[in-house]
C-alpha cells in the first residue's frame, strides 16, 4: 500500500512586487479564449491525466522573428507581442541549448521562431523523472494589461512510490518583473508594429521536493483568469550533488569592466576546504547579456605565486577542451582524476581566446591571482609562473570547485565580515576558512563538511546594491534573498546554511522589522528544501562612521529576535558575544578590531570561528 504524503509548501518569491499565490484546482480542459490566437484544435482537447513530455503539450508561441512573415510570428501575451529570436540567439540561448540555472539543467525548447514552445499552465500532467532537492521551472508570466504582475498557482508532484507533495509556483512578469532574479534579460520586445527597445525576461524558479524520493510526474498549476497566464518552457529535477562536496565557492557580486583581456590566460588562486581524488570546477556568466567563450581550463596545486606543483591537469566540458557559457548560465566541467589536498591553495587557469571587456566577478578576494601577457595564448598547461606577469585581485567567471566524496557542504551566507574584508591577504584567515580547518580537525562528532564562502562585501538582506543587470562599478551583489537560490540552494551538496548578515541593512536605514522578515523568509525557503539553517548575531560597530545610536537600536532589536530562538532557525551562533567588548558591548573588543571598528581583524575572525559549537551545524 502506497503512503500518501501531502505537504503544503509556500515558496516565497521575494521581489518588490510581492508574492502571488493561487489555490490549485482539478485538471480540466483549458478554455479556447484563454489561449487566444495560438490555440489549435489539438490544443483544445481535454488534458489527459496520463503524464506527457512537456514538449507534447506546447500550446503557446513565445518566440518570434520580427523580420519574418506571418509564418514565423508569435503571440506570447494575447496582444501579439513576443520574445525576439535574434535576442535569444545573441544571448547564447539557441534552440535546444542546455542551460544550467541555479544548479539545475534546463533547456530552451528546441523550436524554431513561431513554433509552439511553451505551455500555459492549466493543470496539465507532465512526465518528469529524477531524484533531487527541487523541481526547477523555466517560466514567465504574461498579463493582458501589461501590468507586470507576478502570476502563481499550486500544483502537485507525484513520486514513483505513489506519494505526492503540493507546491506553489510563482512566475514573474516577462516585461515588468525584476532583473535581480531573472535567468536572462533581452533588450527588445517584438510587437505587431515591429521590435521595440524594451527589456523582456525569463525566470528560473524552484519548488521543493521530498528528498530521496524519485519523481514520476508533476501536475502544473492552474492560473487564475483569462488576463493572467503562467508559461512553462521547461521543467527538470535539480539533483542534490550526491557524491560531491563543495570545496570552494564565491558569489558573483556584479558585472564589471575588466582588462580588456584577449588571447590571455587567467590563473586564479583559491583555497580548498575539502579534499578528494577527483575534482570539477564551475564557471558562470551571471548577470551577462551575451555568451562568453572559454578556452582550455586546468587545475593544479599552487607551489608559489603563479607556479604549480607539477603540470596542471586539463579539464573538459562534455568531453571538449573549452566551452561557451550562455548569458546568465553556469557550466560544470567533467570530473577529472586529480588529488585535491585538503586545505591546499589551488590554481584554476582559464584561457580567454576572444576579447573580454566585462565579466561577472567577485571583487573582495583577499587573494592575489595572475594573468598572462596580452596575446600570449593558452598557458593553462604550464607549471611555471613566468608567463603570468599581470596581477588581479578579483575572481572572474570561476564560482566553484567541487571534490569527489565527502559529507557535503556548509554554506556561509554573509557580507564583508564573512568575505574576509581587512583580513591578511593570502593568509586564508576568513572565519569560514578557520571553521573549515576546525571541521577537518574535529574528532568526528561532526562530519568534515566543506565550507563554501558566499559572503559579498556591502551585501544586504533586504535590498539590492547591484541591480542585477548591466555593467556596473558596484559589485555588492543583489540582496541575500534574491541570490539565495544561486548561492545557497543550488550549491553542491549543501547541508547547512549559516546566515550572518544585517549590519549593512541597519546601517543604511532598513528597519529591524524588515531585516527580521527577510531573515525569516530566507530560513523558510532554505528549510523547505531540506537545509539546516543557523543564524549568527550581528556584531557591534560603534566608532564606525555611520554607526549611530539609531543603528545600534536596530542592531539590538535584530539580535534580540535571533536570541529568542522562536523556531525560525535550527540554531544560532552568538558572534556578537564572541567579539564585543565586555565593558562596552556596543563596540568591538580592541584586540579583535581591524582598526575601522566595523570589521574584525585576523584575531577577531578567529574568535568568531572558534566560538562556534560545531554540533549546531549538524542535525
pLDDT of residue 52: 97
User: Is 458:504 a contact under the CB 8 Å cutoff?
Assistant: yes
Q: Are 390 and 307 in contact (CB under 8 A)?
A: no
**pLDDT of residue 421 exceeding 60:** yes
Q: How confident is the model at residue 441 (pLDDT cuts 50, 70, 90)?
A: very high
Rg of the chain over Cα atoms, rounded to whole angstroms, equals: 24
Q: What percent of the chain has pLDDT over 70?
A: 91
Q: In whole angstroms, what is the distance from residue 169 CA to residue 242 CA?
A: 26
Residue 71, number of CB atoms within 10 A of its CB:
10
Q: 227 falls in which pLDDT band (50, 70, 90)?
A: confident
Lowest-pLDDT range of 36-50, 325-339, 481-495, 601-615: 36-50
Distance CA 529, CA 135 (A): 10
**Which contiguous run of DSSP H or E holds residue 435?**
helix 431-441
Average of per-residue pLDDT across 604-614: 98
Q: Are 43 and 33 in contact (CB under 8 A)?
A: no
Copy the grid coordinates of residue 416.
564583508
Segment holding 51, helix H or strand E: none
Q: With contact defined as beta carbons under 8 Å apart, do 113 and 67 qualify?
A: no
Distance CA 586, CA 564 (A): 19
Q: How confident is the model at residue 4 (pLDDT cuts 50, 70, 90)?
A: very low
Give the pLDDT of residue 1: 34
Yes or no: say if 222 and 24 are a contact pair by the CB < 8 Å rule.
Answer: yes
CB 290 within 8 A of CB 329: no
Q: Nearest 5 degrees, angle CA 414-CA 415-CA 421?
A: 125
Please write the tens of the pLDDT for every residue from 269-300: 999 999 999 999 999 999 999 999 999 999 99
Residue 619's pLDDT band, with cuts at 50, 70 and 90, is: confident
* pLDDT tens string 306-316: 999 999 999 99
Q: Is the distance from CB of 456 to CB of 417 less than 8 angstroms?
A: no
Q: Which segment of 208-212, 397-401, 485-489, 576-580 scores lowest on mean pLDDT?
A: 208-212
Is pLDDT at 43 greater than 50 in this prediction?
Answer: no
Q: With bands split at pLDDT 50, 70 and 90, how would you rate the model's confidence at 24?
A: very low
Rounded Cα distance between 237 and 228, Å, is: 26
CA distance 559 to 580: 13
| Beta-strand runs (E) in 466-611 | 494-500, 532-536, 571-573, 580-581, 584-588
For residue 350, what is its C-alpha cell? 582559464
Distance between CA 452 and CA 241 in Å, rounded? Answer: 14
Q: What pairs with residue 46 in β-bridges?
A: none
User: Burial of 524 by CB count in 10 Å (0-12 exposed, 13-18 middle, 19+ buried)?
Assistant: middle
* pLDDT greater at residue 144 or residue 427: 427
What values do phi and psi take at 176, rounded to 5?
Answer: -100, 0
Cα 568 to Cα 533: distance, rounded to the nearest angstrom: 9
31 has a pLDDT exceeding 50: no
- Helix (H), strand (E) at residue 229: strand 228-238
DSSP letters for 156-184: EEEETTS-EEEEEEEE-BTTTS-STT-SE
Residues 6+ apart with CB under 8 A from 1: none
Average the pLDDT over each of 15-19, 256-260, 273-277 and give the range with the smallest value: 15-19
DSSP labels for 287-304? T-SS-EEE--EEEEEEEE
pLDDT value for 66: 77
Q: What is the mean pLDDT of the chain?
A: 91
Please give the backbone phi and psi of residue 438, each rounded to the nearest 5 degrees, phi first.
-65, -40
Domain ranges of the chain: 32-238, 259-398, 407-619
* 3-state class (DSSP) for residue 431: helix
- How far, in Å, CA of 273 to CA of 246, rounded? 8
Q: Determine the topology of domain 407-619 in CATH.
A: Rossmann fold (3.40.50)
pLDDT of 69: 59
Judged by DSSP in three states, 489 sits in helix
- The confidence score (pLDDT) of residue 393 equals 97
pLDDT score at 73? 82
C-alpha cell at 569: 532557525
Q: What pLDDT, in 10s, does the model give residues 326-376?
A: 999 999 999 999 999 999 999 999 999 999 999 999 999 999 999 999 999
pLDDT exceeds 70 at position 224: no
Quick one: which H or E segment has residue 549? helix 549-564
Q: Among residues 235, 237, 48, which one has the least CA distance to residue 124?
A: 48
The C-alpha atoms of residue 465 and residue 474 are separated, in whole angstroms, by 7
Output the nine-digit C-alpha cell for 306: 603563479
pLDDT beyond 90 at 322: yes
Average pLDDT of the segment spanning 534-563: 98
Residue 12 has pLDDT above 60, yes or no: no
Amino acid at each position: 500500500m502506497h503512503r500518501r504524503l501531502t505537504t503544503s509548501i509556500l515558496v516565497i518569491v521575494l521581489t518588490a512586487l510581492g508574492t502571488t499565490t493561487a489555490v490549485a484546482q482539478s485538471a480540466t480542459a483549458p478554455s479556447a479564449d484563454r489561449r487566444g490566437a495560438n490555440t489549435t484544435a489539438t490544443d483544445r482537447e481535454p488534458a489527459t491525466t496520463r503524464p506527457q513530455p512537456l514538449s507534447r503539450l506546447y500550446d503557446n508561441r513565445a518566440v518570434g522573428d520580427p523580420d519574418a512573415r506571418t509564418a514565423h510570428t508569435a503571440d506570447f501575451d494575447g496582444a501579439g507581442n513576443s520574445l525576439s529570436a535574434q535576442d535569444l540567439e545573441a544571448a547564447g540561448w539557441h534552440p535546444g541549448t542546455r542551460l544550467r540555472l541555479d544548479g539545475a539543467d534546463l533547456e530552451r525548447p528546441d523550436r524554431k521562431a513561431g513554433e509552439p514552445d511553451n505551455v500555459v499552465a492549466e493543470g496539465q500532467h507532465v512526465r518528469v523523472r529524477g531524484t533531487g532537492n527541487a523541481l526547477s521551472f523555466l517560466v514567465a508570466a504574461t498579463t493582458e494589461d501589461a501590468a507586470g504582475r507576478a502570476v502563481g498557482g499550486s500544483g502537485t508532484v507525484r513520486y514513483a512510490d505513489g506519494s505526492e507533495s503540493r507546491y506553489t509556483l510563482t512566475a514573474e512578469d516577462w516585461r515588468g518583473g525584476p532583473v535581480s532574479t531573472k535567468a536572462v534579460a533581452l533588450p527588445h520586445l517584438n510587437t505587431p508594429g515591429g521590435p521595440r527597445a524594451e527589456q523582456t525576461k525569463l525566470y528560473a524558479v524552484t519548488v521543493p521536493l521530498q528528498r530521496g524520493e524519485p519523481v514520476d510526474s508533476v501536475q502544473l498549476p492552474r492560473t487564475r483568469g483569462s488576463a493572467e497566464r503562467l508559461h512553462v518552457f521547461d521543467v527538470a529535477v535539480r539533483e542534490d550533488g550526491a557524491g560531491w562536496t563543495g570545496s570552494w565557492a564565491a558569489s558573483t557580486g556584479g558585472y564589471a569592466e575588466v582588462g580588456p583581456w584577449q588571447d590571455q590566460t587567467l590563473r586564479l588562486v583559491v583555497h580548498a576546504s575539502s579534499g578528494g581524488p577527483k575534482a570539477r570546477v564551475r564557471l558562470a556568466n551571471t548577470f551577462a547579456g551575451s555568451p562568453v567563450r572559454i578556452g582550455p581550463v586546468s587545475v593544479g596545486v599552487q607551489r608559489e605565486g603563479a607556479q604549480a606543483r607539477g603540470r596542471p591537469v586539463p579539464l573538459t566540458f562534455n568531453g571538449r577542451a573549452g566551452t561557451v557559457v550562455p548569458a546568465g548560465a553556469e557550466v560544470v566541467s567533467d570530473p577529472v582524476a586529480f588529488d585535491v589536498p585538503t586545505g591546499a591553495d589551488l590554481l584554476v587557469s582559464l584561457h580567454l581566446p576572444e576579447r573580454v571587456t566585462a565579466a561577472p566577478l567577485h571583487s573582495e578576494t583577499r587573494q592575489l591571482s595572475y594573468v598572462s601577457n596580452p596575446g600570449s595564448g593558452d598557458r593553462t598547461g604550464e607549471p611555471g609562473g613566468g608567463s603570468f606577469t599581470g596581477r588581479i585581485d578579483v575572481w572572474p567567471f570561476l564560482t566553484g570547485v567541487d571534490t569527489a566524496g565527502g559529507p557535503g557542504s556548509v554554506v556561509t551566507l554573509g557580507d564583508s565580515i564573512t568575505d574576509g574584508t581587512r583580513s591578511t591577504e593570502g593568509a586564508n584567515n576568513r572565519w569560514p576558512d578557520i571553521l573549515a580547518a576546525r571541521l577537518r580537525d574535529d574528532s568526528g562528532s561532526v562530519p568534515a563538511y566543506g565550507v563554501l564562502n558566499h559572503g559579498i562585501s556591502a551585501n544586504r538582506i533586504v535590498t539590492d546594491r547591484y541591480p542585477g543587470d548591466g555593467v556596473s562599478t558596484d559589485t555588492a551583489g543583489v540582496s541575500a534573498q534574491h541570490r539565495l537560490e544561486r548561492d545557497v540552494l543550488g550549491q553542491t551538496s549543501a547541508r547547512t546554511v549559516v546566515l550572518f548578515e544585517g549590519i549593512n541593512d541597519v546601517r543604511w536605514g532598513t528597519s529591524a522589522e524588515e531585516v527580521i522578515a527577510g531573515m525569516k523568509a530566507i530560513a523558510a525557503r532554505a528549510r523547505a528544501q531540506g537545509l539546516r539553517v543557523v543564524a549568527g548575531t550581528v556584531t557591534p560597530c560603534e566608532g564606525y562612521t555611520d554607526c549611530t545610536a539609531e543603528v545600534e537600536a536596530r542592531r539590538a532589536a535584530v539580535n534580540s529576535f535571533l536570541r529568542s530562538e522562536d523556531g525560525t532557525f535550527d540554531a544560532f551562533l552568538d558572534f556578537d558575544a564572541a567579539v564585543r567588548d565586555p565593558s562596552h558591548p556596543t563596540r568591538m573588543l580592541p584586540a579583535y578590531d581591524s582598526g575601522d571598528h566595523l570589521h574584525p581583524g585576523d584575531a577577531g575572525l578567529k574568535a568568531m570561528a572558534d566560538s562556534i559549537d560545531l554540533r549546531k551545524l549538524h542535525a
